[in-house]
Amino acid sequence: MSLFNRLLKKRGIEGESTGIDPQNVPNHIAIIMDGNGRWAKKRKLPKILGHREGSNVLKKIVKYCDKIGVKYLTVYAFSTENWKRPEKEVDELMDLLLEKLKNAEKELGGDQAQIKVIGNIKGLSTEIQKEIKRVEESTGKNSGICLNIALNYGGRDEIVNAVKDLITDVEKGIIKKAEITEEYFSKKLYTWYLPDPDLLIRTSGEKRHSNYLLWQMAYTEFWYTEVLWPDINESYIDEAIIEYQKRNRRYGGV
Ligand code: FPP
Protein backbone atom coordinates (compact mmCIF):
# COMPACT_ATOMS: atom_id res chain seq x y z
CA MET A 1 0.00 0.00 0.00
CA SER A 2 1.34 3.42 -0.92
CA LEU A 3 2.38 5.90 1.74
CA PHE A 4 -0.54 8.13 0.79
CA ASN A 5 -3.09 5.31 1.04
CA ARG A 6 -1.65 4.39 4.44
CA LEU A 7 -2.02 8.03 5.50
CA LEU A 8 -5.60 8.12 4.23
CA LYS A 9 -6.38 4.87 6.02
CA LYS A 10 -4.96 6.26 9.25
CA ARG A 11 -7.25 9.26 8.83
CA GLY A 12 -10.25 7.07 8.16
CA ILE A 13 -10.43 7.28 4.35
CA GLU A 14 -10.43 4.05 2.39
CA GLY A 15 -9.94 3.97 -1.33
CA GLU A 16 -7.66 4.46 -4.27
CA SER A 17 -4.68 6.75 -4.23
CA THR A 18 -5.73 10.25 -5.17
CA GLY A 19 -2.34 11.05 -6.64
CA ILE A 20 -1.56 13.66 -3.99
CA ASP A 21 1.92 13.75 -2.48
CA PRO A 22 1.12 13.47 1.26
CA GLN A 23 4.35 15.29 2.15
CA ASN A 24 3.35 18.43 0.26
CA VAL A 25 -0.30 19.05 1.06
CA PRO A 26 -0.99 22.82 1.19
CA ASN A 27 -1.04 24.00 4.78
CA HIS A 28 -3.64 26.69 4.04
CA ILE A 29 -6.24 26.66 1.25
CA ALA A 30 -8.42 29.68 0.47
CA ILE A 31 -11.60 29.20 -1.56
CA ILE A 32 -13.88 31.55 -3.50
CA MET A 33 -17.07 29.48 -3.65
CA ASP A 34 -18.50 30.94 -6.85
CA GLY A 35 -21.38 29.82 -9.07
CA ASN A 36 -24.19 29.10 -6.60
CA GLY A 37 -26.56 31.41 -8.49
CA ARG A 38 -25.83 29.85 -11.90
CA TRP A 39 -26.21 26.36 -10.44
CA ALA A 40 -29.69 27.26 -9.18
CA LYS A 41 -30.65 29.06 -12.41
CA LYS A 42 -29.72 26.03 -14.53
CA ARG A 43 -32.18 24.01 -12.47
CA LYS A 44 -34.85 26.75 -12.41
CA LEU A 45 -34.53 26.87 -8.63
CA PRO A 46 -34.55 29.95 -6.37
CA LYS A 47 -31.05 31.34 -5.94
CA ILE A 48 -30.98 30.64 -2.21
CA LEU A 49 -31.15 26.91 -2.96
CA GLY A 50 -27.88 27.32 -4.83
CA HIS A 51 -26.33 28.90 -1.73
CA ARG A 52 -27.85 26.15 0.42
CA GLU A 53 -26.38 23.44 -1.80
CA GLY A 54 -23.11 25.39 -1.68
CA SER A 55 -23.08 25.17 2.09
CA ASN A 56 -23.70 21.38 1.93
CA VAL A 57 -20.71 21.08 -0.38
CA LEU A 58 -18.64 23.19 2.00
CA LYS A 59 -19.32 20.74 4.83
CA LYS A 60 -18.05 17.87 2.66
CA ILE A 61 -14.94 19.78 1.61
CA VAL A 62 -14.06 20.85 5.17
CA LYS A 63 -14.22 17.21 6.25
CA TYR A 64 -12.10 16.07 3.31
CA CYS A 65 -9.46 18.79 3.73
CA ASP A 66 -9.17 17.90 7.41
CA LYS A 67 -8.65 14.25 6.53
CA ILE A 68 -5.92 14.85 3.98
CA GLY A 69 -3.99 17.09 6.36
CA VAL A 70 -4.87 20.66 5.34
CA LYS A 71 -4.52 22.73 8.51
CA TYR A 72 -6.37 25.91 7.53
CA LEU A 73 -9.27 26.49 5.14
CA THR A 74 -10.54 30.02 4.54
CA VAL A 75 -13.78 30.45 2.59
CA TYR A 76 -15.39 33.59 1.16
CA ALA A 77 -19.00 33.52 2.35
CA PHE A 78 -20.00 37.20 2.11
CA SER A 79 -17.95 40.15 0.92
CA THR A 80 -18.24 43.83 1.84
CA GLU A 81 -19.47 44.28 -1.75
CA ASN A 82 -22.19 41.61 -1.49
CA TRP A 83 -24.46 44.13 0.30
CA LYS A 84 -25.11 45.59 -3.18
CA ARG A 85 -27.08 42.44 -4.13
CA PRO A 86 -30.90 42.54 -4.10
CA GLU A 87 -32.28 42.92 -0.57
CA LYS A 88 -34.11 39.58 -0.80
CA GLU A 89 -30.91 37.68 -1.63
CA VAL A 90 -28.94 39.44 1.12
CA ASP A 91 -31.68 38.66 3.69
CA GLU A 92 -31.89 35.02 2.61
CA LEU A 93 -28.12 34.63 2.66
CA MET A 94 -27.91 36.16 6.14
CA ASP A 95 -30.66 33.80 7.34
CA LEU A 96 -28.74 30.85 5.87
CA LEU A 97 -25.48 31.98 7.44
CA LEU A 98 -27.17 32.39 10.81
CA GLU A 99 -28.73 28.93 10.53
CA LYS A 100 -25.37 27.37 9.61
CA LEU A 101 -23.54 29.20 12.39
CA LYS A 102 -26.12 28.00 14.91
CA ASN A 103 -25.40 24.42 13.84
CA ALA A 104 -21.82 24.98 12.76
CA GLU A 105 -20.34 22.20 14.86
CA LYS A 106 -22.54 19.69 13.02
CA GLU A 107 -23.24 21.49 9.75
CA LEU A 108 -19.89 22.99 8.84
CA GLY A 109 -16.92 21.76 10.73
CA GLY A 110 -17.54 18.30 12.06
CA ASP A 111 -16.50 17.31 15.58
CA GLN A 112 -12.95 18.49 15.62
CA ALA A 113 -12.79 21.65 13.49
CA GLN A 114 -11.97 25.00 14.99
CA ILE A 115 -14.33 27.57 13.48
CA LYS A 116 -13.50 31.25 13.20
CA VAL A 117 -14.98 34.23 11.38
CA ILE A 118 -12.90 36.96 9.72
CA GLY A 119 -14.24 40.29 8.51
CA ASN A 120 -16.04 43.36 9.77
CA ILE A 121 -18.11 41.49 12.34
CA LYS A 122 -19.52 44.67 13.90
CA GLY A 123 -21.33 45.33 10.60
CA LEU A 124 -23.38 42.14 10.99
CA SER A 125 -26.64 41.70 12.89
CA THR A 126 -26.39 41.29 16.67
CA GLU A 127 -27.84 37.79 16.34
CA ILE A 128 -25.09 36.74 13.92
CA GLN A 129 -22.44 38.40 16.11
CA LYS A 130 -23.73 36.41 19.09
CA GLU A 131 -23.52 33.13 17.16
CA ILE A 132 -20.01 33.93 15.95
CA LYS A 133 -18.90 34.45 19.53
CA ARG A 134 -20.59 31.24 20.62
CA VAL A 135 -19.16 29.07 17.85
CA GLU A 136 -15.64 30.49 18.20
CA GLU A 137 -15.73 29.78 21.92
CA SER A 138 -17.28 26.34 21.63
CA THR A 139 -14.81 25.13 18.96
CA GLY A 140 -11.78 27.13 20.11
CA LYS A 141 -10.01 24.19 21.73
CA ASN A 142 -10.64 21.69 18.93
CA SER A 143 -7.57 20.14 17.39
CA GLY A 144 -8.77 19.62 13.80
CA ILE A 145 -8.70 21.87 10.76
CA CYS A 146 -9.18 25.60 11.33
CA LEU A 147 -12.14 26.74 9.20
CA ASN A 148 -12.16 30.50 8.70
CA ILE A 149 -15.35 31.96 7.32
CA ALA A 150 -14.88 35.35 5.65
CA LEU A 151 -18.07 37.23 6.43
CA ASN A 152 -18.59 40.89 5.61
CA TYR A 153 -14.97 40.64 4.52
CA GLY A 154 -13.13 42.92 2.09
CA GLY A 155 -9.38 42.98 1.57
CA ARG A 156 -9.24 46.76 1.16
CA ASP A 157 -11.47 47.33 4.18
CA GLU A 158 -9.16 45.06 6.18
CA ILE A 159 -6.06 46.98 5.09
CA VAL A 160 -7.63 50.38 5.85
CA ASN A 161 -8.59 49.15 9.34
CA ALA A 162 -5.08 47.84 9.89
CA VAL A 163 -3.61 51.23 8.87
CA LYS A 164 -5.92 53.00 11.34
CA ASP A 165 -4.77 50.62 14.09
CA LEU A 166 -1.15 51.25 13.21
CA ILE A 167 -1.63 55.01 13.36
CA THR A 168 -3.16 54.61 16.83
CA ASP A 169 -0.13 52.53 17.93
CA VAL A 170 2.26 55.20 16.63
CA GLU A 171 0.25 58.00 18.29
CA LYS A 172 0.24 56.13 21.59
CA GLY A 173 3.99 55.54 21.31
CA ILE A 174 3.58 51.73 21.23
CA ILE A 175 5.77 51.61 18.11
CA LYS A 176 7.83 54.15 16.14
CA LYS A 177 6.91 54.72 12.47
CA ALA A 178 10.41 53.61 11.39
CA GLU A 179 10.04 50.33 13.28
CA ILE A 180 6.91 49.13 11.43
CA THR A 181 7.59 45.91 9.55
CA GLU A 182 5.51 43.67 7.28
CA GLU A 183 5.20 41.25 10.17
CA TYR A 184 3.91 43.94 12.53
CA PHE A 185 1.40 45.05 9.88
CA SER A 186 0.21 41.45 9.34
CA LYS A 187 -0.71 41.21 13.00
CA LYS A 188 -3.20 44.06 12.53
CA LEU A 189 -5.20 42.14 9.93
CA TYR A 190 -8.31 40.01 10.59
CA THR A 191 -6.07 37.04 9.74
CA TRP A 192 -3.41 37.90 12.37
CA TYR A 193 -3.44 34.30 13.65
CA LEU A 194 -3.16 32.63 10.22
CA PRO A 195 -0.29 31.71 7.92
CA ASP A 196 -0.66 33.02 4.34
CA PRO A 197 -2.68 30.78 2.00
CA ASP A 198 -0.62 28.40 -0.15
CA LEU A 199 -3.40 27.73 -2.65
CA LEU A 200 -6.46 29.68 -3.82
CA ILE A 201 -9.29 27.75 -5.46
CA ARG A 202 -11.92 29.70 -7.40
CA THR A 203 -14.84 27.95 -9.02
CA SER A 204 -17.25 28.82 -11.86
CA GLY A 205 -14.72 30.07 -14.39
CA GLU A 206 -14.17 33.56 -12.95
CA LYS A 207 -10.52 34.55 -12.78
CA ARG A 208 -10.59 37.48 -10.42
CA HIS A 209 -9.23 38.15 -6.99
CA SER A 210 -12.43 39.95 -5.90
CA ASN A 211 -10.96 41.82 -2.94
CA TYR A 212 -10.13 38.55 -1.17
CA LEU A 213 -7.10 38.29 1.14
CA LEU A 214 -5.24 40.93 -0.87
CA TRP A 215 -2.27 41.25 1.47
CA GLN A 216 -2.14 37.56 2.38
CA MET A 217 -2.11 36.18 -1.17
CA ALA A 218 1.11 37.85 -2.32
CA TYR A 219 2.67 34.44 -3.09
CA THR A 220 -0.37 32.16 -3.20
CA GLU A 221 -0.75 29.73 -6.11
CA PHE A 222 -4.08 30.18 -7.93
CA TRP A 223 -6.19 27.33 -9.36
CA TYR A 224 -9.36 27.94 -11.32
CA THR A 225 -12.07 25.61 -12.57
CA GLU A 226 -15.18 26.09 -14.72
CA VAL A 227 -17.11 23.84 -12.32
CA LEU A 228 -19.77 25.64 -10.24
CA TRP A 229 -19.26 25.48 -6.47
CA PRO A 230 -22.32 23.28 -5.73
CA ASP A 231 -20.94 20.69 -8.22
CA ILE A 232 -17.55 20.52 -6.49
CA ASN A 233 -16.53 17.29 -4.81
CA GLU A 234 -13.39 15.84 -3.25
CA SER A 235 -11.86 14.87 -6.61
CA TYR A 236 -11.64 18.53 -7.67
CA ILE A 237 -9.75 19.33 -4.48
CA ASP A 238 -7.35 16.53 -5.39
CA GLU A 239 -7.00 18.00 -8.89
CA ALA A 240 -6.19 21.44 -7.48
CA ILE A 241 -3.65 20.01 -5.03
CA ILE A 242 -1.97 17.86 -7.68
CA GLU A 243 -1.60 20.95 -9.89
CA TYR A 244 -0.31 22.95 -6.89
CA GLN A 245 2.29 20.26 -6.20
CA LYS A 246 3.66 20.67 -9.74
CA ARG A 247 4.26 24.38 -9.28
CA ASN A 248 7.70 25.74 -8.54
CA ARG A 249 7.20 28.28 -5.76
CA ARG A 250 10.04 30.77 -5.93
CA TYR A 251 8.69 33.67 -3.83
CA GLY A 252 10.41 36.10 -6.15
CA GLY A 253 13.74 34.24 -5.97
CA VAL A 254 15.32 32.09 -8.66
C1 FPP B 1 -21.02 33.26 -4.86
O2 FPP B 1 -21.95 32.68 -5.76
C3 FPP B 1 -21.32 32.81 -3.50
C4 FPP B 1 -21.66 33.62 -2.47
C5 FPP B 1 -21.73 35.09 -2.57
C6 FPP B 1 -22.03 33.07 -1.17
C7 FPP B 1 -21.26 31.87 -0.71
C8 FPP B 1 -22.07 31.22 0.33
C9 FPP B 1 -22.21 29.89 0.52
C10 FPP B 1 -21.48 28.86 -0.23
C11 FPP B 1 -23.18 29.35 1.48
C12 FPP B 1 -23.02 29.66 2.90
C13 FPP B 1 -21.66 29.59 3.46
C14 FPP B 1 -21.39 29.25 4.71
C15 FPP B 1 -20.05 29.51 5.26
C16 FPP B 1 -22.41 28.62 5.57
P17 FPP B 1 -22.82 33.64 -6.67
O18 FPP B 1 -24.12 33.89 -5.98
O19 FPP B 1 -22.05 34.88 -7.01
O20 FPP B 1 -23.03 32.75 -7.94
P21 FPP B 1 -23.31 33.29 -9.41
O22 FPP B 1 -22.09 34.08 -9.82
O23 FPP B 1 -23.47 32.04 -10.20
O24 FPP B 1 -24.57 34.12 -9.35
- Direct distance between the N- and C-terminal alpha carbons of the chain, in angstroms, rounded to an integer: 37
The Cα–Cα gap between 230 and 48 comes to 12
Q: Which CATH class is domain 22-154+194-244?
A: alpha beta
pLDDT band at 222 (very low <50, low <70, confident <90, very high): very high
CA atoms within 13 A on the CB side of 171: 6
Residue 72 parent element (H or E): strand 72-79
The Cα–Cα gap between 213 and 215 comes to 6
Give the contacts of 78 (CB within 8 A, at least 6 positions apart): 93, 94, 97, 119, 150, 151, 152, 153
Question: What's the average model confidence in pLDDT over 15-34?
Answer: 88
Name the β-bridge partners of 147. 73, 115
Ligand 1 pocket (Cβ < 6 Å) reads 33-38, 51, 54-55, 58, 75, 77, 82, 96-97, 100, 149, 204
pLDDT band at 4 (very low <50, low <70, confident <90, very high): low
Q: Is 28 annotated as a binding residue?
A: no
pLDDT band at 110 (very low <50, low <70, confident <90, very high): confident
Mutate to test the pocket of ligand 1, among 33, 93, 145 (most ligand atoms within 8 A of CB): 33
Give the atom of ligand 1 at the shortest distance from the alpha carbon of 97. 16
pLDDT at residue 10 in the model: 59
Question: Do 61 and 72 touch, CB atoms closer than 8 A?
Answer: no
Residue in 60, 150, 151, 59 with CA at minimum distance from that of residue 103: 59
Check if 34 is active-site.
yes
Question: What's the average model confidence in pLDDT over 50-64?
Answer: 97
Domain spans of the chain, in order of start: 22-154+194-244
27, 82, 120, 211: which one is catalytic? 82
Q: How far is the CA of 54 from the centre of ligand 1 (A)?
A: 7
Please name the residue whose Cα sits nearest to atom 10 of ligand 1: 54
pLDDT at residue 252 in the model: 83
The Cα–Cα gap between 70 and 80 comes to 27
Q: Is 229 annotated as a binding residue?
A: no
Name the β-bridge partners of 202. 32, 224
Give the contacts of 26 (CB within 8 A, at least 6 positions apart): 70, 197, 198, 199, 241, 244
Look up the pTM and report it: 0.93
Question: What's the average model confidence in pLDDT over 199-213?
Answer: 96
pLDDT at residue 111 in the model: 77
- pLDDT tens profile 78-102: 999 999 999 999 999 999 999 999 9
Check whether 15 has a pLDDT greater than 50.
Answer: no
What is the three-class DSSP state of 147?
strand
pLDDT band at 125 (very low <50, low <70, confident <90, very high): very high
The Cα–Cα gap between 47 and 66 comes to 29
Instruction: Give the mean pLDDT of the chain.
Output: 93
34, 66, 157, 198: which one is catalytic? 34
Single-letter amino acid code for the residue at 163: V
